Amino acid sequence: MTVDDLTVAFGHGRNRLVAVDRVSLGVPHGAALGVVGESGSGKSTLGRAIAGLVAPAGGEIRLDGRLLPPRRSRSDLRRIQLAFQNAGGSLSPRMPVARILGDAVAAAGVPRERRRDRVDELLEAVQLPTTLRDALPGRLSGGQRQRVALARALASEPEFLICDEVTSALDVSARGAMLNLLIRLRRQYGWGLIFISHDIAAVRQVSDDIAVMYLGRTLELGPGEAVVAAPRHPYTRTLIEAIPVLGEAPAGPPDDVDPPDPRHPPTGCPFHTRCPLRPRAEPAGARCVTDEPTPITRGLPHHAACHFPPPLERT
Ligand code: SF4
């Protein structure tokens, strides 16, 4: 999977919102990319655009080298599946599990006589007992509902899976179990994975590479280990410092400043209004306000869109 200069915009004129702004990234076959950022960073819109659910305003997406058109065919839509956040809300409350998965299996073209077995296979794949076939979503725990949503995404045997905040509503133990399940399934099926979350610790657990997004742009992209151990962008550092440590109060947001309005992003570096490392002296500080750092292109080893990144460290 390769994405180049992808842009997604909503609205017009003063209300135009560029939710994804010239994003470029690549996910090698069978690899996992984590996409992390705060609410409003554009990470979910990026996932929806890659899945073909939102039409981009510019840029291109390729799978196995083939350009995916803005209007996807049914078979292209089946190749890339999206498991949504808030699984409870995306499952019909009146439909039992077997019907939810049965519909997905039928849409994937499985013959009628095979559908029951296929539903059981999907339940088994996500480690749910087949005794839950007749259960309504409201009777399931949050972790079980999320697994049903994942099983539904797997029904079409996708080549690529996008998981959007699939662990955010779960408690600690259900979250750990879900992350382990994703790691196991990825190894088993060999699909490429984009794992989207605001939680950089969860992202690190399942991802080979990590992209850090802010106001629709990629601010840092590199190997997961390097991005977490030696972040090169001040924004990534603030995300890592906010990871709760047992017995310690988490660090607050940078400079205690709210994120800017995405409809009117700051000039120059989008992070300059919150950056604790921006040089205060002229002319270096002025550069952060007036000049946009070079956008990240894919294929670089570990890059940060910052005028003053620390040197690359060996990790
Ligand atoms: Fe901070 Fe300037 Fe780098 Fe932006 S370009 S992250 S404001 S130091």
pLDDT of residue 251: 57
For the stretch 23-35, pLDDT in tens is: 999 999 999 999 9
Is the link from the previous residue into 111 a cis peptide, with omega within 30 of 0? no
Mean pLDDT of all residues belonging to the chain = 91
- For residue 264, how far is its CA from the centre of ligand 1 (angstroms)? 18
- Which amino acids bring their CB within 6 angstroms of ligand 1? 234, 269, 271-272, 275, 277-278, 288, 293, 306-308
Low-confidence winner among 67-71, 200-204, 279-283 (lowest mean pLDDT): 279-283
- In this prediction, residues 66-82 reach a mean pLDDT of 91
For the stretch 231-250, pLDDT in tens is: 999 999 999 998 876 566 55
The confidence band for 91, taking pLDDT boundaries of 50, 70 and 90, is confident
pLDDT of residue 180: 95
The confidence band for 285, taking pLDDT boundaries of 50, 70 and 90, is confident
pLDDT of residue 253: 52
Please report which helix (H) or strand (E) contains residue 17, including its range: strand 17-26
- Separation in Å, CA 52 to CA 46, 72, 117, 138, 187: 10, 6, 29, 29, 25
Residue from 288, 292, 294 to probe ligand 1 pocket by mutation (most atoms less than 8 Å from CB): 288
287 token code pair: 């550069």
For tokens 């294929």, name the residue. 299
What residues pair up with 6 in beta bridges, in sequence order?
23
Taken in order of first residue, the domains within the chain and their CATH numbers are 2-304 (3.40.50.300)
